[in-house]
């Protein structure tokens, strides 16, 4: 079984191929059907998969603390 690091590295390699932009975002779906991690051209996208995950995590923590 692949480790979490191996799986994230795989996603980073996929993102680096820049099939679209090479930038990604993790966000809640606009139709409330869960979260989405995808390559995008949105302004707040990250250059890395890990960066997108960290940004989303920080947003959730900020909201949970009542600051967002």
Whether pLDDT at 68 is above 70: no
**For 26-63, how does the pLDDT look when each residue is reduced to its tens digit (9 = 90+)?**
999 999 899 999 999 999 999 999 999 999 999 999 99
Instruction: Tell me which DSSP letter residue 26 carries.
Output: E
pLDDT of 66 reads 86
Tell me the C-alpha distance between 32 and 41, whole Å. 21
**For 3-33, how does the pLDDT look when each residue is reduced to its tens digit (9 = 90+)?**
999 999 999 999 999 999 999 999 999 998 9
pTM: 0.88
Burial of 43 (0-12, 13-18, 19+ CB in 10 A): exposed
> Angle at the Cα of 7 (from 48 to 40), degrees rounded to 5?
35
Under 8 Å between Cβ of 53 and 36: no
Whether pLDDT at 67 is above 90: no
């Amino acid at each position: 079984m692949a480790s979490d690091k191996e799986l994230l590295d795989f996603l980073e390699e996929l993102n680096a191929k820049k099939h679209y932009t090479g930038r990604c975002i993790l966000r809640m779906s606009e139709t409330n059907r869960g979260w989405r991690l995808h390559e995008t051209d949105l302004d707040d996208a990250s250059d890395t998969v890990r960066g997108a995950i960290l940004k989303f995590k920080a947003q959730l923590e900020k909201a949970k603390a009542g600051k967002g």
